[in-house]
Amino acid sequence: MTSPRNTSSAYQLVVRADRVLIDGAWRSAAIGVRDGVIAAIEPVDALLDTATDITLAADEVLIPGIVDTHVHVNEPGRTHWEGFATATRAAAAGGVTTIIDMPLNSLPPTTTVPALNLKREATAGQLSVDVGFWGGAIPASVGHLEPLHVAGVFGFKAFLSPSGVDEFPHLTPAQLTAALAETNAFGSIVIVHAEDPDELDAHAHPGGVNYADFVASRPDTSEALAIDTIIGAVRETGGRAHILHLSSASALPAIRAAKAEGLAITVETCPHYLTFAAEQIPDGATAFKCCPPVRGGANRELLWEALLDGTIDIVASDHSPATAQLKVGADGDFARAWGGISGLQVSLAAIATGALKRGIPLETAVGWMTAKTSAFVGLSDRGAIEVGRRGDLAAFAPEREWQVDAEDLLHRNRVSAFDGSSLTGITTRTWLAAEQVFPAAPDAPLRGQLLSRPRGR
């Protein structure tokens, strides 16, 4: 129910719900937002002077907007794969209010300040949610990273194996060590795609439609060895590293030991690794191809356990779209299909569904995608419902069941491994700084803003 009132009122927006996620627990409350910032948390029936008063349905909860720290938008240069307009609309529809864009697969990649400026210019008039940027660490930019840091990137993405695009070459172990030493000197972070190139070469994929052959071509050892390399480089330099999209549970003991040692290492995994299992993926189903790959069901359960015990810190989508031709136009051949899963719009619902199946409280699962992701990138102004934080909010119906139809998703190319998945929980409304961005009126002004690394990060 929405009740419009005069715009000179004390609050820009009030949202009332019987279940609001506050301090990690549910409580009934009325949330008052003024000038885009949460200004009051009051009893649910409090009389508040507001321009817009919304009461959520009994089956809806109010949560902070999702902060997704791993999204490939691909604009400029590969906007036919994805672009800022489509990606941010899809984000808003999934309860995501902030994304941090990866430095590839755009052209040029975000490895220089001029390339970052092109990215920022490309966003003009297109953003439904807030957007920040990662920089890139490639062999040519190591030793020259600080200007991008000063320009506001949140850190530096690196690969230890071929990235899949020629303009973003991978680092050797020595170059990774140099990048960590360099970023440590000015207080930044290197986020790393962790697969060992020698292991990949030793298990080169022969091509074909067999999914098991594809998984075998990117074995657990490729992740474990690369993560050992990262741990060693962090130990040597004192730098800070983040392991991207962990898919293999085989690396968890080494990560636990590194954290116990006090090394500055954080880890993420992704909804597709927590949802799917290799034994359930049909041969030729290249929509499921990603690198590192989706592994077996027993491995998946170990990833959930590692989230619960804190070994894995956060969940991010790794939304990595491409055209339908690149993704599913290779006659089922996993060697020729593009590796990447489009999951931005369904990430929250997928994680909520997986948590429900395992008896994990929704508030715990939401925390991996809000409070913890915002803390990871230093965005202390969002990620929680508390006075002084931004009014980035999502209404979510955790008991509503629905089936994903890729044709209904809002990213540019309607191909997704989640197509046909039965999920429990769906975003019903999203607000960015108190302005409703989903569902949005056709003529509504776009509200997304560009973000820079907070000072002191």
The DSSP line for 406-437 is GGG--SSS---TTTT-EEEEEEEEEEETTEEE
Q: Which residues of the chain have pLDDT under 70?
A: 1-9, 457
Q: What is the pLDDT of residue 3?
A: 39
Alpha-carbon span 69 to 367, nearest angstrom: 14
Which residues have CB under 8 Å from 165's CB, separation 6+?
104, 105, 109
- Sketch the domain layout of the chain as residue ranges: 2-62+390-400+423-438, 65-376
- The fold for domain 2-62+390-400+423-438 equals Urease, subunit C; domain 1 (2.30.40)
Q: Give yes or no for a cis peptide into 442 (omega within 30° of 0).
A: no
pLDDT at 442: 86
No. of H helices and E strands in the chain? 14, 18
Please tell me the predicted confidence (pLDDT) of residue 457: 67
58 CB-near residues (< 8 Å, 6+ apart): 18
pLDDT of 257 reads 98
Task: Specify the amino acid at residue 173.
Answer: P
Rounded distance between C-alpha atoms, residue 366 and residue 97, angstroms:
14
CATH topology assigned to domain 65-376: TIM Barrel (3.20.20)
Q: Which residue has the tokens 């490729």?
A: 222
Each residue of 256-298: pLDDT tens digit? 999 999 999 999 999 999 999 999 999 999 999 999 999 999 9
The pLDDT score that the predictor gives to residue 7 is: 39
The answer to whether the beta carbons of residues 80 and 323 sit under 8 Å apart is yes
Asked if residue 98 lies in contact with residue 374, where contact means CB atoms within 8 angstroms, the answer is yes
Which residues make beta-bridge pairs with 422?
403
Check residue 455 and give its pLDDT: 81
CA distances from 116 to 35, 72, 91, 106, 414 (A): 29, 14, 21, 11, 28
Estimate the crossing angle of helix 220-237 against helix 173-186, to 10 degrees. Answer: 40
